[in-house]
Structure 1
């Protein structure tokens, strides 16, 4: 495990993320509000009562994510084929929710933030007074968007699922050139993943490469029985020195929706936060833990075979926004990134 006590912390509101600081625990509500405002508030309640540092959402419009309703195709998730465009359209966060949920989080002393997709979503969050932006794994290689978000001057948490080290470096340098504080999260774009894919030692690779706070974004790990892990990976991440940790939460894994089935339920979340905070305190006090070798895995950051499927359709590509005559230059007016 790599130690860098000199790495400056990232300030998010009144909290600090970094070496020697308490664990910054992010409850990823994401899409699990099911477009139900009361459910969104209930999930914030769950996060606050468990002692989480932040409640995170995803802010987008389906038209800004995919090329069209009939062209987006389907997504294979946990044994089901899901129409991608229709799914995302049904889970868009209404604009008037943003300020209301932000204010509700402030009332409960928990950070509200979100991963925007597109400039309109970024501006929506900015107008609600967000104190930090999340750049999702799928936007990691979208440098024009990374540059746009960084230009807003807010701290950024960057996820890196399915990205190569070179792609991460390009994103990190883009953000740092804007003078914006940055933390980076090792992540896997598998929903859920097998334990052999965790490769938690990549956290050390990222910390050594960029000398910034580093954490782990947990998109769910499943035992062979199908049971979703709520202990092994979270504790190993804390034992390995994660400065921040993110995990999907739900009121009930049996609820309809793409992300409920691998998310953490309220009772599990409370126990998880308590256990990880205890480990973090011991880590900050100098204790070093025995490594779970299967979870520690490889330190090489690359696109793992298990991530290729998601990367193929979710990472951003260049598309023609209109018919382009032969010989015409490609410009922002005639191409788009989707």
Structure 2
């Protein structure tokens, strides 16, 4: 299923989000020094640098600040007046100036907008029909102001400096009441800000939290490196302050890019975007010449006559001309028949090979492997503990036998007693390397040990011993999917209907939802739930395990297991699980008619073995050495 598009039209004819180029805003702000002529120079320079939009800052000074703030003395090097009010009034462009600059930007072909710092400014920007409102970080926490702006249903670019996640969520839900056309920008309100305080990972947090909103970045750092990293992380809007001269009077100039830096930023952003490419790993057309030059192919060992059956003994892999069967197709050739002579060291070409009906890409055995070690972190002796009359390990063996789809069924264990049980129930016993049976060992360690000792196995089903309600029909279906070369791994899943939250830690006292939106909490009966591994089985091609080090790689899919009843499955890890499993296993046995497999297994050989084990246990108890 194609990924949902997260985009909207920010400016006429210009969408942001999804696969659209990053929208680059040149924030002129008040770096125009209160001069319309300088403002025009900056608009032209931003256009020449390749920016998509120029943005100014609009406020009604007498509305925005109170009397004491306006009358405060402002005797600093950056001041344009004796008081703070005089300073702000000097830098504030008139409404006529805005109309003049807007017309000039339109003439040059660059979008024009502004931040609004008060209600009158919002109304003015709406009147002159700017394509979007910019919400400055200082006003993002003013919910009344946000709602006033959102009600106008004009696209919004919302900076989040000086805010926390709770506030941003409130803004999200508030704006959503009126429209969907808005974006959040990660921002740190310091001028300039050091890279250690830019917190670009918030971009990913926003992407995970606000899945239907494009996310961007507003930067106040020096240079362009951090901004490029933001784009690489997925920022779809990038805002940077710009200036004609960093030495000019004003606090923003030092945190701004000059026009040569803006030009380089735009250039590098487009390079970064091009380099991101697509998420699918595949051989590209540009690699084809090198593939022909360096790629290896199957070649003949010795002169091979027409009718020769190919095997690993008469083929080799070399850099060859012309190119033929590639290394990953080597196993496919085993068992194929030559339809013409192939000379020593020559490439085996497709037109020289015939695959008979018996020949398959899958050459070797497809086996079931039950991992059942002696030790257990949760329940001592768990794998031999009696469940519904049989040792726990027996139920996985019986399910594999009932599936009737495996060439062989193996139990990999470090315990001879478990091995004897396995053989009595119709499986074969592999004594695993003790190092793969430690508490710290992984199932992958045990599987690598097994396939390393069984080179004739091309595919395996890792069947979980602690999952006694294995579905034989599902096992058979998964095997057929692997055999048909549709997938490299098929595993079993169930569904979870639990609402999950992040853990509370010493560093973070707040929690947040992981898999749902609290404002849109679904009813459990209406929610399909989350797909989760239930650990019942993992089918895989051995080649994938050996090549990738993982049995869930390349072409992976799952099958959903509902058990003997809707959702009635059990994975045994605690003593309480055995109690719950008793009834389920009984129903499971009846559902899949396993009785016909149990009778022969509980014959004389099994009874004798259990008697011997009981005698051994009694003898050990006399000397105080109870076996585990």
TM-score (norm 2): 0.42
The residue that corresponds to 1:239 in the other structure is 232
The 5 A counterparts of 1:313-328 are none
Residues 43, 116 of structure 1: CA spacing in aligned structure 2 closer, same or farther, 3 A cutoff?
Answer: same
Equivalent residue number for residue 199 of structure 1 = 199
Q: Is the 8 A contact 2:78 2:250 kept in 1?
A: no
Contact 2:79 2:250 in 1 (8 A): no
Sort the Cα spacing of 1:246 and 1:69 in 2 relative to 1 into closer, same or farther, 3 A.
same
Pair 1:5–1:272, CA change in 2 (3 A): farther
Q: CA deviation at 1:239?
A: 1.4
CA, structure 1 residues 188+275, in 2 after alignment: closer, same or farther (shift >3 Å)? same
Say whether the 8 Å CA contact 1:98–1:125 is kept in structure 2.
Answer: no
Q: Secondary structure at the match of 1:26?
A: strand
Mapping for residues 61-100 of structure 1, pairs under 5 Å: 61-70=60-69, 84-100=84-100
1:191 and 1:275 map into 2 onto residues whose CA distance is 23
Instruction: Provide the alpha-carbon RMSD of the alignment.
Output: 2.6
Is the Cα–Cα contact under 8 Å of residues 159 and 186 in structure 1 kept in the other structure?
yes
Residues 53, 112 of structure 2: 8 Å contact kept: yes
Counterpart check, 1:182 vs 2:185: no
Q: How far, CA to CA, are the matches of 1:218 and 1:75 in structure 2? A: 27
Distance (Å, rounded) in 2 between the aligned partners of 1:246 and 1:178: 25
Equivalent position of 1:6 in the other structure: 4
Q: Is the 8 A contact 1:73 1:84 kept in 2?
A: yes
Quickly say closer, same or farther: Cα 1:235–1:170, change in 2 above 3 A. same
Q: How far did 1:282 drift? A: 2.1
Deviation (angstroms), 1:287: 9.1
Q: Secondary structure at the match of 2:56?
A: strand
> 1:137 matched to which residue of 2?
137
2:184 partner SS: strand
Greater RCO, CA 8 A, separation 6+? 1
Deviation of 1:258 (Å) = 2.3
Superimposed CA distance per residue, residues 24-64 of structure 1 (whole angstroms, 9 cap, x where no aligned partner): 00000001111100111111111110111110110002222
Q: How far off its partner does 1:15 sit?
A: 0.8
> What SS does the corresponding residue of 1:249 show, helix, strand or coil?
strand
- TM (norm. structure 1) is 0.76
Paired with 1:86 and 1:287, the residues of 2 have a C-alpha distance of: 58
1:215 maps to which residue?
A: 216
Contact 1:25 1:273 survives alignment (8 Å):
yes
Q: 1:250 to 1:258 in 2, by over 3 A?
A: same
Counterpart CA distance in 2 for 1:51 and 1:98 is: 22
Q: Name the stretch that deviates more: 184-193 or 235-244.
A: 235-244
Aligned to 1:105: 105
Task: Name the SS of the counterpart of 2:250 in structure 1.
Answer: coil
Does the residue aligned with 2:28 lie in a helix, a strand or coil? strand
> Structure 2 CA distance, aligned partners of 1:5 and 1:88?
47
Q: Give the Cα–Cα distance (whole angstroms) in 1 for the partners of residues 39 and 166 of structure 2.
A: 36
256, 259, 262: which one pairs with 1:263? 256
Q: 1:250 to 1:14 in 2, by over 3 A?
A: same
> Offset of 1:145 from its aligned partner?
0.9
- State the alpha-carbon separation in 2 of the partners of residues 207 and 112 from structure 1: 27
| Structure 1 counterpart SS, 2:171 | helix
Query: For the residues of structure 1 that align with 2:28 and 2:193, how far apart are their CA atoms?
Result: 19
CA deviations over 1:231-251 (Å, ceiling 9, x no partner): 211211111111110000000
Shift of 1:10: 2.0
Asked if 1:122 corresponds to 2:156, the answer is no
Q: Deviations over 1:180-238 (max 9, x none)?
A: 4111100000000111101100001111111210011011x2xxxxxxx3221121111
Matched, 1:35 2:45: no
Report what 2:50 is aligned to. 51
Q: Could you list the runs of 5+ residues in structure 2 that have no partner in the other structure?
A: 282-507, 511-628
Which residue does 2:270 correspond to in 1? 277
Q: Deviations over 1:53-84 (max 9, x none)?
A: 1101100022222212456758999x979964
Cα shift at 1:168 = 0.8
- Structure 2 partner of 1:161: 161
